[in-house]
Amino acid sequence: MALRHAVLAALLNEELSGYQLAKAFDVGVANFWHALPQQLYAELAKLEREGLVAGREVVQDTRPNKRLFTVTEAGLAELTRFAATADKPSFIRDDLLVKVQAADHLDPDELVTRLLERAALADAKIELFGGLLRRMRGDRDEEDFLRHGDHIGPYLTCLRGLAFEQGNRDWCHRTAAVLRERRTTDVPR
Amino acid sequence: MALRHAVLAALLNEELSGYQLAKAFDVGVANFWHALPQQLYAELAKLEREGLVAGREVVQDTRPNKRLFTVTEAGLAELTRFAATADKPSFIRDDLLVKVQAADHLDPDELVTRLLERAALADAKIELFGGLLRRMRGDRDEEDFLRHGDHIGPYLTCLRGLAFEQGNRDWCHRTAAVLRERRTTDVPR
DNA sequence: ACTCCCTACTCAAAGATGTGATTAGTCATG
DNA sequence: CATGACTAATCACATCTTTGAGTAGGGAGT
């Protein structure tokens, strides 16, 4: 039951449509949660029924009309209540790690391919997040922004996303290197 | 449909009962996937029906009998097939990050409490993983083990788990420090 | 003129995951 | 000798998440 809170948190600083929200939750702009459009539309409808968000129709002549959502008082109260609860530890859950876990029984070349694919993906995200951070802090440096700026929440979560992807990238390269090493120096099975 | 592969990967190097598997998947010994006992029993039953694992009854007089499972040829083949597929990118999905995303609208003290709780949890895992790694590599150093040792799969995934938890801990401390700073130096809302 | 992609949203269904409880015997601790 | 903790497994249910498709108009490119 945390998707609802993720949606509320995402809507706090900007008024968004379901579609825009879906974009944000898709690529990874939301480095703290991930969800597909269908879930978001459904969740928004539920939140609206419960009065935690309020939607307003925006008529557009050039594009289909859309509904923009904002968090209500009740929504903020719900988030506050949520913030006071203990949270369950977070786990990594990753196809790629499953494959590496079985590395001793699989084709190393195949794995190295996967690892490099993933490393490239991580690189792309690193650049993306770097850009986002720069945009958020404007011309200030990080220390200054974090001490005196507004909307530091998204900045802080983005920092975690960045570190995560750097961790991913480093580990992928390291692991690929290990597997390549063994392929060349070890006797074949 | 990756839980099945996680189970297969976990069973590759050791014969385990459902219960032992559940332990491994619980605390985080499995740093690559997480699942509850019910899921694992159900998945083991399915895998057995499909012939990807084989179970054998072990009669115990002092404890309830148990069934130990091993991966079959067909199971390994399935894993091999899986390894050749592209994997979806992994996302962080974390209650705590949701809360921090909303930091600008929540009580900083509450958040700092959560962050320190999480940091403590991360520390515990770091120690746990450190111990596991030491046990796995025995008296060799890491370079040597990774180049010539057996069962490096679990070692490599554990390294990722370790780095992940270190990232968690560092980010928690950093974020808590930022929030504390602002509380003391900034004007209240 | 045609096709493709973008905005904006919806429906249905399958599969994965989480919550909570239950059975039942053994072991250690106070 | 009672209480709680551990091994071993299972059941029912609720919710979350993913897969896949479909509607509908507008703009951009070939």
What tens digit of pLDDT does each residue of B58-108 get?
A: 888 777 788 999 999 999 999 999 999 988 888 899 999 999 999 999 999
Residue B94's closest CA among A97, A160, A155? A160
Both A42 and A117 in one domain: the answer is no
Domain ends where: B16, B50, B83? Answer: B83
The answer to which of A28-37, A116-125, B76-85 has the lowest mean pLDDT is: A28-37
Task: Report angle CA A52, B95, A89 to the nearest 5 degrees.
Answer: 155
Both A101 and A166 in one domain: the answer is yes
Instruction: Residue B64: give the domain boundaries.
Output: 3-83
Supply B27's token pair.
């605390």
Q: Which pTM was predicted?
A: 0.93
Confidence of residue A187 (pLDDT cuts 50, 70, 90): low
| Helix (H) / strand (E) containing A19 | helix A18-27
* Residue of chain A minimizing CA distance to B14: A102
- Report if residue B104 sits inside a domain: yes
Q: Is residue A177 scored above 80 in pLDDT? A: yes
Domain ends where: A35, A51, A83? Answer: A83
CATH code assigned at B43: 1.10.10.10
- Report if residue A45 sits inside a domain: yes
Between B20 and B187, whose confidence is greater? B20
Q: How many domains in chain A?
A: 2
**CB within 7 A of nucleic chain D:** A 1-4, 34-36, 38-39, 42, 62-64; B 17-20, 23, 37-38, 41, 45, 60, 63-67, 88, 93
A135-166 tens-digit pLDDT: 999 999 999 999 999 999 999 999 999 999 99
Residue B1 confidence (pLDDT): 73
Q: Within an 8 Å CB–CB cutoff, is residue B113 touching chain A?
A: no
Q: Is residue B187 scored above 60 in pLDDT? A: no
B115-135 tens-digit pLDDT: 999 999 999 999 999 999 999
Cα dist from A141 to A138, A148, A165, A184, whole Å: 8, 11, 22, 46
Both A71 and A120 in one domain: the answer is no
A84-111 tens-digit pLDDT: 998 888 888 999 999 999 999 999 999 9
Alpha-carbon dihedral A110, A111, A113, A117, rounded to 10 degrees: 140
Mark which residues 16-75 of A lie under 8 Å from B by CB: 28, 31-34
Whole-number percent of chain A with pLDDT over 90: 83
Cα dist from B175 to A49, A161, B54, B123, B166, whole Å: 34, 13, 48, 16, 14
Confidence of residue B183 (pLDDT cuts 50, 70, 90): confident
Å: B152 CA to D4 C1': 39
Residue A13's closest CA among A151, A184, A170? A151
- Report if residue B46 sits inside a domain: yes
Residue A103's closest CA among A176, A29, A31? A176
In DSSP notation, B2-38 reads -HHHHHHHHHSSS-EEHHHHHHHHHHSSSSS----HH
Q: Is residue A186 scored above 90 in pLDDT? A: no
SS3 (DSSP) at A123:
helix
CB B118 within 8 A of CB B172: yes
Q: What is the mean pLDDT of chain A?
A: 92
Q: Within an 8 Å CB–CB cutoff, is residue B107 touching chain A?
A: yes
The single-letter DSSP state of residue A187 is P
- Report if residue B173 sits inside a domain: yes
Å: B2 CA to C16 C1': 10
Q: Within an 8 Å CB–CB cutoff, is residue A155 touching chain B?
A: no
Scanning the structure block, which residue is given the tokens 């600083």? Answer: A13
Domain ends where: A83, A110, A137? Answer: A83
CB B101 within 8 A of CB A5: no
Both B79 and B99 in one domain: the answer is no
Supply A114's token pair.
């996967």
